[in-house]
């Protein structure tokens, strides 16, 4: 399983959580178009951050509003997360593989996650690719795994959330977010938010 062993709570204090130096998870979001994808790409970033990835590479049209939205979320809710616009997403893929990482491309045409999950090595850095409109054939060829979250069309946001949940074995639920200004105290009704 992915980072269940990556996280150890040494103390009861959230600032004493230790992230061991175990495999990284990053996301490559292909083909961002500001006019159509602003919310979807922002949601890809939010899901990546919440469910255990360390950052998102975005290809397509550079869009500073994504940076500023994610920065605002981090200012309030904490964590170290990065968003990087890239000119050549294929170079990101090649570099990731050349440095020993594994690449999983999420697509409705792939192998069902249930079948492929245990073949994805959990001791190597993982790059998860999600597409936009049309993903060029080269990504299907170069990815180590083409993974389907069901063989029906839905959304990159949903696909990413389910994939990260499966790959982390749900360990994202215990993940700390350092330097948060706001923290939610879960409550049955209403909103209980602590400020720091
Ligand atoms: C608008 S959808 C396009 C669906 C696309 N024809 C495909 O190959 O999955 C955009 C992205 O959502 C993700 N996606 C949608 N449905 C998926 C599914 N069933 N399994 C995995 N990923 C999916 C893929 O990353 C895809 O590139």
Q: Domains (ranges, CATH) in the chain?
A: 3-195 (3.40.1280.10)
pLDDT tens for 156-185 read 999 999 999 999 999 899 888 999 999 999
Distance 103 CA to ligand 1 centre (A): 16
Cβ 149 under 6 angstroms from ligand 1: yes
Q: Is 151 annotated as a binding residue?
A: yes
Cβ 156 under 6 angstroms from ligand 1: yes
Q: What is the pTM of this model?
A: 0.91
pLDDT tens for 92-110 read 999 999 999 999 999 999 9
- Count Cβ atoms within 10 A of the Cβ of residue 1 and give its class: 0-12 exposed, 13-18 middle, 19 or more buried: middle
Cβ 122 under 6 angstroms from ligand 1: no
Query: What is the average pLDDT across 15-34?
Result: 75
State the pLDDT at residue 196.
87
Task: Give alpha helix (H) positions in 34-150.
Answer: 34-50, 64-77, 89-98, 113-116, 137-142
Categorise residue 63: left if φ over 0, alpha if ψ from -120 to 50, beta otherwise.
beta
Phi, psi values for residue 20, rounded to 5°: -70, 160
86 DSSP β-pair partners: 59
Mean pLDDT of the chain: 90
State the pLDDT at residue 8.
40
Distance 164 CA to ligand 1 centre (A): 15
């Amino acid at each position: 399983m992915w980072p269940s062993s990556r996280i150890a709570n040494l103390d009861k204090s959230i600032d004493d959580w230790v992230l061991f130096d175990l495999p990284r998870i990053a996301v490559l979001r292909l083909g961002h178009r500001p006019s159509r994808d602003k919310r979807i790409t922002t949601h890809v970033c939010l899901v990546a951050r919440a469910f255990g990835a360390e950052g998102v590479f975005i290809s397509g049209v550079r869009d500073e509003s994504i940076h500023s939205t994610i920065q605002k979320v981090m200012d309030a809710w904490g964590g170290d997360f990065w968003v990087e616009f890239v000119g050549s997403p294929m170079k990101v893929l090649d570099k990731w593989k050349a440095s020993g990482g594994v690449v999983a491309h999420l697509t409705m045409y792939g192998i069902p996650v249930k079948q492929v999950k245990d073949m994805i090595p959990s001791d190597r850095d993982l790059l998860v690719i999600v597409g936009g409109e049309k993903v060029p054939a080269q990504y299907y060829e170069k990815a180590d795994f083409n993974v389907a979250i069901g063989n029906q069309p839905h959304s990159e946001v949903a696909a990413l959330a389910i994939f990260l949940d499966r790959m982390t074995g749900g360990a994202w639920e215990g993940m700390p977010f350092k330097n948060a200004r706001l923290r939610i105290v879960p409550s049955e009704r209403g909103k209980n938010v602590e400020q720091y």
